Structure 1
Amino acid sequence: MAILVTGAAGFIGCNMVQRLLASNHRIFGIDNLSNGSRKNIAHSLQDARFVFVEADLSDLSAFMPVAQQFHSTDPITEVWHLAANSDIPAGIDDAGVDLRDTFMTTFNTLEVMKRLKIKQLAFASTSAVYGDHENVRLHEDIGPLLPISNYGAMKLASEALISAAAEAWLERAWIFRFPNVIGVPATHGALLDFIRKLRQTPDNLNVLGNGTQQKGYLHVSELIDAMLYIREFAEERLAYYNIGSDDEGVTVRFMAEQVVAAAAPAAKISFGEGNKGWVGDVPRFVYSIEKLRALGWQPKIGSADAIKLAIHEIIDQEMHQ
């Protein structure tokens, strides 16, 4: 029996592959390598239990034969669908990016699963499905859900597809609404952006927005812990959970100051205007993880410590590029 991981070479995917291999699972991985890379899975590829194929999940004619080959080699019992566009501004500029890489990958994953009679799905969703509720603590049943980015819209549409499939033929589905996740291998995000900017201009760090944006941050290792915990203990046929930090989060100003202190202590920080870094950015949100805590899980470190840990990890990553 095997597990299929889509987006296996991406930030979350490669960490999930490592954890599943450590639990003695046979893993099949698919990724189009638009955001991920083979370097991210180089260590996992040394394990004979992991088989990887580069393929475009938004193209069913390319996806289906790969999945069929995997399934005939070792029957797939569940799918971890982690593939999506992770560049929110890119989806604002071109809505087709999220239609193709976020929604159609979900549509095709469900179609492949239905044809191959694979009836368990774990899905990486996002806090972006909620939209901007300002200072209201976001819990799983708040509404209305009005995303302000194409990324959030296509993730919400994907959740709707999964809900319909759970009514018709899926036996189990787990939907994980991600927070801001940090760690390595970093492929995008404010911390990586700050560190790379300082390599170019060590005396100055330009920051989008006025620095008051405030959100919770979770280290990728804890995200993986939470997803696997929900997979094991949530009993609902369609289980949907916020995963996040257990605090009010930190500001972009705090993040910038921590990066400067670690990477270029003499640098000046220059902030922009307004409380949004880009169109579609939710400047402030606070997650409720009461539902997840009631299930029995909560993070071990807060947003500030997660930021500090990730900064040092990303600096080390960039030094060894």
Structure 2
Amino acid sequence: MNIIITGGCGFIGSNLVRKLSKNKTNNIVVIDNLSSGKLDFIKEELKLPNVNFIKKDLLKDDLDECFCKAKQIWHLAANPDVKSSTIKRKDVFEQNVIVTNNVLEQAKKQKIEKFIFASTSTIYGIAKQMPTKEDYGPLKPISIYGATKLCSEAMICAYSSLYSFRSFIFRFANVVGLNSTHGVIYDFVTKLKKNPKELEILGDGNQIKSYIYCDDCIDAMILGVKKANNNVNIFNIGTENWTQTRKIADIISSLMNLKPKYIYAGGKQGWAGDVPKMMLDISKLKKLRWIPKYSSDDAVKIATEKLIKDC
């Protein structure tokens, strides 16, 4: 199987490369511009004969040659920072919407079989239904990041219908784990390494969200792609529990053997565009016999341990 993974040197992408490369019948081409991803994340996989890397800018470069003969495209390349998307609006629009359109054009040209997309829980905005199902609406994202992902989803649905390839849209809860370079765990660990005596927490600490370990997330994606057979398949990926931001601070402080003073900033919302409460309904994936191995709290603990070890 000829597989393209865009953003394959990033957090989730690198973990996906590691998993898919274990199947020697998969011929994997990783495409990344290394603006935020790191080649070091897939250095062991690049030693394998079935994994190749191409440095390309999906926004500006010619893509015909590197997508040639692709049968599956796993599109994970994106600007993933929800917080900064309010400031870097043009960049995020280009990197998330225009790039997705460019990759969809390649899907059309190559007559691919399957298009797999990493979406987000932020497309739901501040949902009134909790846990939130895939058919919840109306969809009202409150961040530029969420809006760009929702726009990309619409484009994928249109291309999939018009050009007869199967698409899979996975809406992630907060994914944590190996190779993460942003998010609350990374933020807290970084802050405490700089100043072990106090920890700034954006918001009032009462934000409560679902966290999923990256291995669970990838297993869910692979299973969904294998078993679902609609023209467009949309799945939530998360856990059936959640973790309060203050508890995350407690977990990280304990694992670092610290007792910092917590400094709260930003009111109930951590920042403009932040969704303070989130849990996804994962019953659709459970019907395919997937369940996460780790709870939300366990995902936070394991991800923190790995980050502390790697720092």
TM-score tier after normalising by the smaller chain length: over 0.9
Query: What is the identity, as a one-letter code, of the residue corresponding to 1:204?
Result: E
* Aligned-pair Cα RMSD in Å: 1.3
The answer to whether the aligner puts 1:196 opposite 2:190 as a matched pair is yes
The answer to whether the aligner puts 1:109 opposite 2:110 as a matched pair is no
Percent identical across equivalent pairs?
A: 37
Query: What is the identity, as a one-letter code, of the residue corresponding to 1:58?
Result: L
Query: What is the identity, as a one-letter code, of the residue corresponding to 1:265?
Result: L
Please report the TM-score for the alignment, with normalisation by the length of structure 1.
0.93
> Contact 1:135 / 1:285 at 8 angstroms: preserved in 2?
no
Matches within 5 A, 1:97-246: 97-134=91-128, 136-246=130-240
Matches within 5 A, 1:69-84: 71=68, 75-84=69-78
> Contact 1:90 / 1:97 at 8 angstroms: preserved in 2?
no
The aligned counterpart of 1:32 is 33
Matches within 5 A, 1:276-295: 276-295=269-288
Give the direction of change, closer, same or farther, for the CA distance of 1:144–1:135 in structure 2 (3 Å limit). closer
Q: In structure 2, what is the Cα distance between the partners aligned to 1:63 and 1:316?
A: 38
> Contact 2:167 / 2:233 at 8 angstroms: preserved in 1?
yes
Q: In structure 1, what is the Cα distance between the partners aligned to 2:196 and 2:253?
A: 9
Query: What is the identity, as a one-letter code, of the residue corresponding to 2:180?
Result: A
The answer to whether the aligner puts 1:262 opposite 2:255 as a matched pair is yes
Please report the TM-score for the alignment, with normalisation by the length of structure 2.
0.96
Unaligned runs of 5+ in 1: none
The aligned counterpart of 1:93 is 87
The aligned counterpart of 1:64 is 64
Give the direction of change, closer, same or farther, for the CA distance of 1:82–1:170 in structure 2 (3 Å limit). farther
The answer to whether the aligner puts 1:46 opposite 2:39 as a matched pair is no
Per-residue deviation, residues 149-198 of structure 1 (Å, max 9, x unmatched): 11111111111011111211132111101110000111101111111111
Q: In structure 1, what is the Cα distance between the partners aligned to 2:43 and 2:176?
A: 20
Unaligned runs of 5+ in 2: none
> Contact 1:184 / 1:317 at 8 angstroms: preserved in 2?
no
The aligned counterpart of 2:56 is 55
SS at match of 2:17: helix
The aligned length equals 310
The aligned counterpart of 2:2 is 2
Per-residue deviation, residues 89-118 of structure 1 (Å, max 9, x unmatched): 221102112211111111000101211222
The aligned counterpart of 1:15 is 15
Query: What is the identity, as a one-letter code, of the residue corresponding to 1:169?
Result: Y
> Contact 2:58 / 2:102 at 8 angstroms: preserved in 1?
yes
Q: In structure 2, what is the Cα distance between the partners aligned to 1:8 and 1:39?
A: 11
**How far has the Cα of 1:285 moved from its partner?**
1.5
Q: In structure 1, what is the Cα distance between the partners aligned to 2:29 and 2:144?
A: 29
Runs of 4 or more consecutive aligned structure 1 residues displaced over 4 Å after TM superposition: none
Query: What is the identity, as a one-letter code, of the residue corresponding to 1:27?
Result: I
Per-residue deviation, residues 209-230 of structure 1 (Å, max 9, x unmatched): 1100000000000001000010
SS at match of 1:142: coil
SS at match of 1:315: helix
Give the direction of change, closer, same or farther, for the CA distance of 1:94–1:227 in structure 2 (3 Å limit). same
Q: In structure 2, what is the Cα distance between the partners aligned to 1:317 and 1:167?
A: 44
Q: In structure 2, what is the Cα distance between the partners aligned to 1:266 and 1:295?
A: 43
Per-residue deviation, residues 246-301 of structure 1 (Å, max 9, x unmatched): 22x01000000111111142322222242211111100012111111122211122
> Where is the helix percentage greater, Structure 1 or Structure 2?
1
